[in-house]
């Protein structure tokens, strides 16, 4: 495996015209690891959440969907020239989380036409396509027809509003031949065992789906390769269930998995002839997977039987798998295609960048509420601390937005779930776009009046520290078990222990770069280490050489499920607690709050819950920013 490291010359930064969106941060250079091509190659996006305009405030992710189209066109040409194949995959959660999707009325007015311009070969649904009936309608009426036979819904049905009939959201699986090598592929597309969908869709648990006749037929199709895509984390049980079912029937066939949902870069192998990748979130990452070796099925495959059940490893049984997490950075895209800013953009890609620019303009996404005086971090700064977005919300924002004019003299505890915040705030303009990026949910504030302080004050501790008790109590209340981690941020769900730390890790230096991929300056004489930009330093089951760009590590601090502001309490000095408080909380966490109240001895039902203040949290926060952060 020859993985080279090289450095993009810094002078590339100084060059002129480029694509990406007007006003987007200029891309920045980093030492690079090459893409490793095989016979069958893939580009993978997942959990893009409307970020098809790229990250305008983050230089290393500032390429847009039009640039990705140019990139894929160049790599497709390369594949054709080499006589190998390239397929594009997307595993859902394309919607919700960015003004380009959320700011229009109806939502997604511009998104569908922009997204469809990419020639995706295998596409499926995420949970965010299904929370609202209208979103699921949009998916069924726009995206499914846009992609036709490429859209797969192995365990998802749609209820047609006209007929009331339950029909597959799209076909259950796809059998096709690749363009250049005529490899036969059987592809499936799953969603994890999701239960929070609106009532116009039906998600079938994976363990039920694999018993169905179509699935049993599909795994007997004898393809050269199975490709299972899913809105499923690669370490989640659903993929293991599918893998086991396919493998029992097909001892020797390569099975490739493309996952998502958990917003992390990750890769693993379930056995020596399988490989799985997850490609991050928010269009920061374009995943690359390749498999090399003899993929056409022949009888000699039988001889490889002995290779079954060996521990995960990248190169055994004549097959080799590679993965690369490509930063959505224009300079990196130039690098991987061997092009530059004068040759990279294709007509098609440029047109799509133009469509995005026009949509952003029509939606007035650059309208500025105020300017953030500094960066505020979700997990890059400890909570509490002055750089924590949660401390800012708790100390400054919640006390001033959680005001009910009829009850403003009643002291209150205001509880917010950390998962209600989706992204960091960067120093500089806080725009209409930013409001959707930070908080795309239509969260509102609810409350229960006059709760004894003794009872109300125990709730936050239970929400944060009593996962087991809360789950058991919810079952006793005859509710579905509610995992309190769902109140927190999805990134924390998936991260492995060794990257969570309470204190900052020692800062990354060139010397701790992966062996063989040390940043090289190219000229043996005056060797200088490039300054590394903070970014992903992924460690997965395959190793720590997955990222295409070498970065310095970003701190990750654990945050609680919920934070709490005490508002209208008497001054700290006299340390006297009120007898009764209003318990104010985000509507999303109401089920957990009710269980926690019950455990703390409060006998309340949903009938006791009222609306506390008009407007969504997002609107209230934008109003606070307009009042408190001057324009820059
Ligand atoms: C879904 O819920 C809505 C609102 O509660 C109701 O009007 C509609 O009939 C339900 N649809 C189905 C298919 O059950
Ligand atoms: C790009 O847009 C122009 C003008 O709308 C159109 O004529 C052209 O066909 C488009 N090209 C591609 C490749 O989409």
Average pLDDT, integer, range 542-547: 96
pLDDT at 470: 73
Give residue 469's pLDDT band: very low, low, confident or very high (50, 70, 90): confident
Q: What are the pocket residues of ligand 1 if the criterion is a CB atom closer than 6 Å to any ligand atom?
A: 159, 199-200
Query: Rounded CA gap, 599 and 602, in Å?
Result: 7
Distance (Å) from CA 199 to ligand 1 centroid: 6
Q: Which of 100-109, 200-209, 218-227, 466-475 has the lowest mean pLDDT?
A: 466-475
Question: What SS3 string covers 284-298?
Answer: CEEEEEEEECCCCCC
Query: Residue 341: is its pLDDT beyond 50?
Result: yes
In sequence order, the β-bridge partners of residue 445 are: 586
Residue 476 is predicted with a pLDDT of 66
The tokens of 3 are what? 């993985």
Residue 160 DSSP one-character state: -
- Please check the confidence at residue 481 and state whether its pLDDT lies above 70: no
For residues 62-66, average pLDDT: 97
- Ligand closest to 201 (CA) is 1
Residue nearest to atom 1 of ligand 1 (CA): 199
The whole-number pLDDT of residue 340 equals 95
Output the pLDDT for position 217. 98
The whole-chain average pLDDT of the chain stands at 87
Task: Name the token pair of 232.
Answer: 């499923």
Residue 513 has pLDDT above 70, yes or no: no
Note the pLDDT of residue 311: 39
**Ligand positioned closest to the Cα atom of 351:** 2
pLDDT, one tens digit per residue, over 406-420 is 999 999 999 999 999
Closest CA to 89 of 219, 271, 278: 278
HSE-up of residue 352 (Cα within 13 Å, Cβ side)? 25
pLDDT over threshold 60, residue 236: yes
Q: What proportions of the chain, in percent to the nearest 5, are helix, strand and coil? A: 30, 20, 45
Q: What is the pLDDT of residue 498?
A: 36
Least reliable range by pLDDT among 85-89, 301-305, 551-555, 592-596: 301-305
Which ligand does the CA of 352 lie closest to?
A: 2
pLDDT > 90 fraction of the chain, expressed in percent and rounded: 77
Looking at all shown ligands, the one closest to residue 165's CA atom is: 1
Q: For the segment 11-32, what is each residue's pLDDT rounded down to a tens digit?
A: 333 333 466 888 888 877 788 9
Distance 103 CA to ligand 1 centre (A): 26
Task: List pLDDT tens digits, range 112-135.
Answer: 999 999 999 999 999 999 999 999
Position of tokens 């990248």?
314
Higher local confidence (pLDDT), 213 or 520: 213
Q: Each residue of 167-218: pLDDT tens digit?
A: 999 999 999 999 999 999 999 999 999 998 999 999 999 999 999 999 999 9
Structure tokens at 6: 């090289």
* Nearest CA residue ID for atom 14, ligand 2: 348
Ligand 2 binding pocket, CB closer than 6 Å: 347-348, 351
Question: Relative to the CA of 198, which ligand 1 atom is closest?
Answer: 1
Q: Would you tell me the crossing angle of helices 467-476 and 590-599 to the nearest 10 degrees?
A: 90
Helices (H) and strands (E) in the chain, counts: 19, 24
Separation of 126 CA from ligand 1 center, angstroms? 21
**pLDDT value, residue 102:** 93
Ligand 2 pocket check: which of 346, 347, 349, 355 to mutate, most ligand atoms within 8 Å of Cβ? 347
What is the band of 467 on the pLDDT scale with cuts at 50, 70, 90? Answer: confident
Give the containing element (helix H, strand E) for 318: none
Which of 212-226, 432-446, 492-506 is predicted with the least confidence, judged by mean pLDDT?
A: 492-506
What's the pTM value of the predicted model, to 2 decimals? 0.84
Q: In the Cβ-directed half-sphere of 206, how many Cα atoms lie within 13 Å? A: 23
From ligand 1's centre to the CA of 134, what distance in Å?
A: 12
The whole-number pLDDT of residue 7 equals 42
Ligand nearest to the CA of 346: 2
Q: Residue 142, CB half-sphere, CA atoms under 13 Å: how many?
A: 19
Residue 459 Cα, ligand 1 centroid: separation in angstroms? 33
Average pLDDT over residues 469-482: 67
Does the structure show a pLDDT above 50 at 504? no
pLDDT score of 245: 98
> Which of 161, 165, 199, 200 to mutate to test ligand 1, by most ligand atoms within 8 A of the CB atom?
199
340 CA distance to ligand 2 middle (Å): 22
Distance 21 CA to ligand 2 centre (A): 18
Element (H, E) at 209: helix 206-209
Please give the torsion angle defined by the CA atoms of residues 589, 595, 601 and 603, in that order, rounded to the nearest 10 degrees: 90
- Check residues 623 and 2 and name the one with the higher pLDDT: 623
| Domains defined for the chain, CATH in brackets | 39-307+322-361 (3.60.21.10), 367-496+557-628 (3.90.780.10)
> What pLDDT does 477 receive?
65
Nearest CA to ligand 2 atom 4: 351
Confidence at residue 495, expressed as pLDDT on a 0 to 100 scale: 52
> Which protein residue's CA is at the shortest distance from atom 4 of ligand 1?
199
Q: By mean pLDDT, which of 493-497, 554-558, 611-615 is the weakest?
A: 493-497
Q: What is the pLDDT of residue 119?
A: 98
Mean pLDDT of 328-355: 97
User: With the C-alpha atoms ordered 239, 244, 245, 246, is the resulting torsion angle positive or negative?
Assistant: positive
pLDDT in tens, 249-273: 999 999 999 999 999 999 999 999 9
| Closest among 618, 530, 433 to 49, alpha carbons compared | 433
SS3 437: helix
């Amino acid at each position: 495996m020859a993985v080279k490291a090289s450095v993009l010359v810094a002078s590339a930064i100084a060059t002129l015209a480029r694509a990406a969106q007007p006003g987007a941060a200029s891309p920045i250079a980093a030492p690079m690891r090459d893409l490793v091509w095989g016979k069958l190659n893939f580009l993978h996006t997942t959990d893009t959440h409307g970020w098809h305009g790229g990250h305008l405030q983050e230089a290393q992710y500032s390429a847009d969907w039009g640039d990705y189209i140019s990139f894929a066109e160049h790599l497709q040409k390369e594949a054709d020239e080499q006589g190998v194949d390239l397929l594009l995959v997307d595993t859902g959660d394309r919607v919700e989380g960015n003004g380009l999707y959320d700011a229009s009325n109806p939502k997604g007015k511009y998104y569908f036409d922009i997204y469809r311009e990419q020639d995706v070969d295998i596409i499926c649904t995420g949970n965010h396509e299904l929370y609202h009936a209208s979103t699921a309608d949009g998916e069924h009426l726009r995206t499914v027809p846009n992609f036709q036979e490429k859209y797969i819904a192995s365990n998802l049905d749609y209820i047609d509003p006209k007929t009331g009939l339950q029909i597959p959201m799209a076909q259950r699986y796809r059998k096709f031949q690749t363009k250049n090598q005529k490899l036969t592929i059987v592809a499936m597309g799953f969603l994890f065992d999701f239960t929070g969908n609106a009532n116009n869709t039906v998600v079938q648990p994976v363990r039920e789906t694999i018993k169905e006749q179509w699935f049993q037929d599909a795994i007997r199709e004898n393809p050269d390769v199975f490709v299972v895509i899913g809105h499923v984390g690669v370490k989640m049980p659903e993929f293991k269930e599918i893998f086991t079912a396919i493998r029992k029937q097909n001892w020797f066939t390569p099975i490739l998995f493309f996952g998502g949902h958990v917003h992390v870069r990750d890769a693993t192998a379930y056995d020596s002839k399988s490989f799985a990748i997850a490609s991050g979130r928010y269009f920061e990452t374009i995943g690359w997977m390749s498999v090399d070796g003899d993929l056409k099925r022949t009888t000699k495959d039988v001889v490889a039987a002995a290779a079954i059940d060996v521990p995960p490893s990248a190169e055994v049984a004549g097959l080799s798998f590679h993965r690369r997490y490509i930063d959505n950075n224009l300079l990196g895209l130039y690098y991987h295609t061997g092009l530059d800013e004068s040759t990279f953009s294709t007509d098609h890609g440029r047109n799509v960048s133009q469509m995005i620019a026009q949509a952003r303009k029509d939606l007035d996404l650059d309208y500025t509420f105020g300017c953030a005086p500094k960066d505020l971090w979700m997990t890059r700064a400890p909570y509490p601390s002055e750089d924590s977005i949660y401390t800012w919300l708790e100390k400054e924002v919640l006390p001033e937005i959680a005001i009910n004019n009829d009850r403003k003299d009643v002291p209150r505890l205001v509880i917010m779930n950390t998962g209600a915040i989706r992204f960091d705030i960067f120093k500089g303009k806080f725009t209409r776009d930013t409001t959707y990026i930070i908080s795309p949910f239509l969260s509102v504030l609810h409350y229960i009046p006059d709760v004894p302080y003794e009872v109300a004050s125990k709730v936050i501790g239970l929400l944060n520290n009593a996962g087991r008790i809360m789950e058991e109590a919810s079952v006793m209340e005859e509710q579905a078990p509610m995992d309190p981690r769902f109140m927190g941020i999805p990134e924390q769900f998936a991260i492995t222990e060794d990257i969570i730390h309470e204190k900052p890790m020692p800062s990354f230096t060139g010397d701790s770069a992966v062996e063989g991929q040390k940043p090289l300056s190219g000229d043996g004489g005056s060797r200088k280490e490039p300054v590394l930009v903070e970014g992903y330093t992924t460690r997965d089951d395959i190793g720590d050489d997955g990222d295409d760009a070498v970065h310095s590590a970003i701190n990750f601090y654990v945050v609680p499920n919920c934070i709490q502001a005490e508002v209208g309490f008497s001054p700290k000095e006299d340390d006297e607690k009120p007898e009764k408080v209003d318990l104010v909380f985000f509507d999303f966490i109401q089920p957990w709050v009710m269980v926690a109240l019950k455990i703390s001895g409060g006998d309340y039902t949903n009938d006791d819950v009222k609306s506390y203040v008009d407007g969504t949290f997002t609107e209230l926060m934008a109003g606070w920013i307009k009042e408190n952060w001057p324009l820059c």
